[in-house]
Amino acid sequence: MVYMLPSQIPPMDILIDQYLNYLLVEKGLSSSTLESYSRDLIRYQLFLQDSDIGCISETDTVLILKHLIALRNAGLGARSRARHLVSIRGFYRFAVKQKVLKRDPADLVDLPKTSLKLPDVLSVEEVSQLLSKPDPAKPIGARDAAMLELLYAAGLRVSELINLKLQSLNLESGFVRVFGKGSKERVVPIGSLAKEKIQFYLEHSRNMLLKNQVSPYIFVARAAKPITRQGFWKLLRRYGKLAHLNKKITPHSLRHSFATHLLEGGADLRAVQVMLGHVDISTTQIYTHVTRKHLKDLHKRFHPRG
């Protein structure tokens, strides 16, 4: 392999532009994600300039650590510093991939402890309570029952759920095709209960809600329009109250519960990553602390020296 000599390494701003273009074209990341990466890398570039350094090198590990310390001294919390490091790590990995560098100096830098607090995760019993509250005898109840069941069964984001179209659903095979962040497509299994509730809604309620109108969307509201985010928030809050759940429930609560219950049941982390639509497995790893707690509880309950 032929790597660049130090004198051949392009200036930082050119490499940043190349990296952002790579993320846009090859990875299909959204504009908001690209803006976030750009801000973090420009801040890192300014730090290097203040240190009289114009381009990156394989010996930048100490500089990266100094930058993280400077961010902490500037008042950035652990979570924000972790995001900066993720941006920098990706940038250096790209430099190695492009043979600008032989070695990745960011690889040795650990993520700051984030004390990351996930939204409240519902227990399996609490999820069952919540999902039992819509009344399938009513058209709206059948729709809501199918939506809640699918959100939990497939770990969808609320934006993915409300934008699902009929062509994305394969009930016979038990899969749903989802377009997530950055228009990334993934196929997720939905399970037998979700299949039953969706089938019931499609056969008995959807046409009643459409009132002779046509819509490509699976879940419809008035005038054949898809459910809005605000509309879904309202119905979820209503069913949460009916279920007497003493937790703050958001659409993401069911997504987090989906991931946590799979991992606690022994699912492989990478399989959960695929189902959630995470590009980087480090995003999925935020759930492992929940799983570790579950294992600790099991050890305490069943180990003779627990």
Check if 278 is active-site.
yes
Structural domains of the chain in order of their starting residue, each with its CATH number: 6-108 (1.10.150.130), 124-299 (1.10.443.10)
Catalytic residue, chosen from 67, 206, 255, 256, is 255
- What DSSP string describes 170-233? ETTTTEEEEE-GGG-EEEEE-HHHHHHHHHHHHHHTHHHHHTT---SBSSB-GGGPBPPHHHHH
Angle at the Cα of 10 (from 4 to 14), degrees rounded to 5? 140
Helix (H) or strand (E) holding 96: helix 78-97
The ranges of the chain with pLDDT < 70 are 1-7, 111-120, 181-183, 268-269, 274, 277-306
For the chain, the C-alpha Rg in angstroms (whole number) is: 23
b (16+ CB within 10 A) / e for 76-91: beeebbbbbbbbbbbb
Q: What is the pLDDT of residue 306?
A: 47
Q: What is the pLDDT of residue 261?
A: 81
**Which phi-psi region, left, alpha or beta, contains residue 283 (left: φ > 0; alpha: ψ -120 to 50)?**
alpha
Catalytic residue, chosen from 72, 157, 186, 247, is 157
Tokens read off for 96: 């190695």
Check if 83 is active-site.
no
Check if 252 is active-site.
yes
SS3 state at 115: coil
HSE-CB at 253 with a 13 A cutoff on CA atoms is 20
Give bridge partners of residue 114 from the DSSP assignment: none
Contact between 226 and 162 (Cβ < 8 Å): yes
Q: What is the pLDDT of residue 299?
A: 44
176-220 confidence digits (pLDDT tens): 888 876 667 788 888 889 999 999 999 999 999 998 899 999 999
- Dihedral (Cα; 102, 106, 109, 111), 10-degree rounding: -140
Catalytic residue, chosen from 79, 247, 252, 294, is 252
* Integer CA distances (angstroms), 76 to 64, 92, 152, 281, 289, in order: 15, 22, 34, 24, 23
Helix (H) or strand (E) holding 296: helix 288-302
Check if 237 is active-site.
no
Q: What is the pLDDT of residue 45?
A: 92
Longest dimension (CA), the chain: 73
Query: What gap in Å lies between CA 202 and CA 198, rounded to an integer?
Result: 6
Strand 169-170 relative to strand 185-189: parallel, antiparallel, unpaired?
A: unpaired
Catalytic residue, chosen from 181, 184, 247, 294, is 181
Check if 157 is active-site.
yes
Which of 83, 158, 135 is CA-nearest to residue 114?
83
Query: What gap in Å lies between CA 298 and CA 18, rounded to an integer?
Result: 49
Tokens read off for 231: 């509309």
Which of 253, 243, 221 is CA-nearest to residue 144?
221
SS3 state at 169: strand
